[in-house]
Amino acid sequence: MAENPDRNAPKPALQLKSQKFREARQGDWRLLNAQLEKAERDGLKSFSIDELLNLPVLYRSAMSSLSMAQSISLDRNLITYLQTLCARAYVNIYGPQTRLKEVLAGFFVRAWPRSFRSLGLELILAFVLFFGGAVLGWLLCAQDPTWYGFFMPGEYRSVDSSVAELKETLGGNTEDQALSPFAVFLMGHNTQVAIMAFAFGIMFGLPSVALLILNGIPLGAMLWLFHSKGLGLEFAAWLSIHGTTELFAIIIAGACGLHIGRRLIFPGDQPRRDSLMDAGRLTGTVMIGVAAMLTVAGCLEGFGRQLITESWIRFAIGGAMLTLWLSYFFFVGRERKHG
């Protein structure tokens, strides 16, 4: 029986060289890969002392293999494998060891609630300005109903709307008429105001003051309109599902702008530039959380409020959200006192 000439043919020199190179070193590569998989799965804290000491040794050995493979031009697949292995090892040894879940936990459990509490009096002032604007809008419309048309564009119901027409805007079905124009107005407008109330704090906080008041006025005007038609309770329930989250976010954003303005006007013992940088770091942390609140408010506005029609359930959800936020901001992340 004739032998297969292909089987007896000598292997290409490059392939033979790569094979011998791999056989001599792949034990260390496999061990390094196994340790990296463990680090990526459980973190370096799961390593024993010997494993921690051995990991840099295996990394340097892999780097040496990679350098040698590149210098003698071994096959591309081997070089790519070693490059990937070395990159993974570098990240695990020298890269930041904080995982995403640890970063998120640090933000939501410590950074955000603590930064919120640091705003202090600015939060109270922002609350007074916003709801002071709402009271002003109510009183002006109650004194002269023509003010309502000035505060609210015509498509958002007029003082001549009937009770039935106003009730349609509070419906909970999926028809277009149930999606009140004011819901769209409130969500989009308040999101813009939150951004501007924060950003304009750089102008010594004065635009933030104006925006808080002016954003409260349309709310007061709408409350007056529905109350005048005997639908005040229904409107408050309709608004509460997402409003206790969204309006709270607006107030917090306004407080951030006021804080920046105050630190500019009264920098204390710091240079004004350093005071502004400190204020920016604090309020920047808070505003990341405000963005999360507005996202939650959007979900509540888009789903819960349109699917739920009973006023008492709407109030229950709104009250639960407000209680949740207040409990979170005032109790989460506090340092435990020892002794």
pLDDT at 51 > cutoff 90? no
Query: Could you give the residue ranges of the DSSP H alpha helices within 43-75?
Result: 49-71
**Overall average pLDDT of the 255-278 stretch:** 93
226, 235 contact by CB (below 8 A): yes
**pLDDT of res. 183:** 57
Look at 285 and 177; give whichever has higher pLDDT.
Answer: 285
**Overall average pLDDT of the 249-258 stretch:** 96
Q: What is the pLDDT of residues 305-328, one digit of tens each?
A: 667 888 899 999 999 999 999 999
CA–CA distance from 252 to each of 50, 106, 137, 164, 234 (Å)? 50, 20, 21, 36, 26
**pLDDT of res. 16:** 57
pLDDT bracket for residue 112 (50, 70, 90): very high
Check residue 43 and give left, alpha or beta (phi > 0: left; psi -120 to 50: alpha): left
Task: Determine which of 104-108, 218-222, 329-333 has the lowest per-residue pLDDT on average.
Answer: 104-108
Q: What is the pLDDT of residues 205-220, one digit of tens each?
A: 999 999 999 999 999 9
Separation CA 316–CA 20 (nearest Å): 72
pLDDT at 115 > cutoff 70? yes
**Overall average pLDDT of the 49-73 stretch:** 85
Closest alpha carbon to 123 in 54, 197, 227 = 197
* Six token digits for residue 210: 């104006």
**pLDDT of res. 151:** 86
Q: What is the pLDDT of residues 173-206, one digit of tens each?
A: 544 444 455 556 556 767 788 889 999 998 999 9
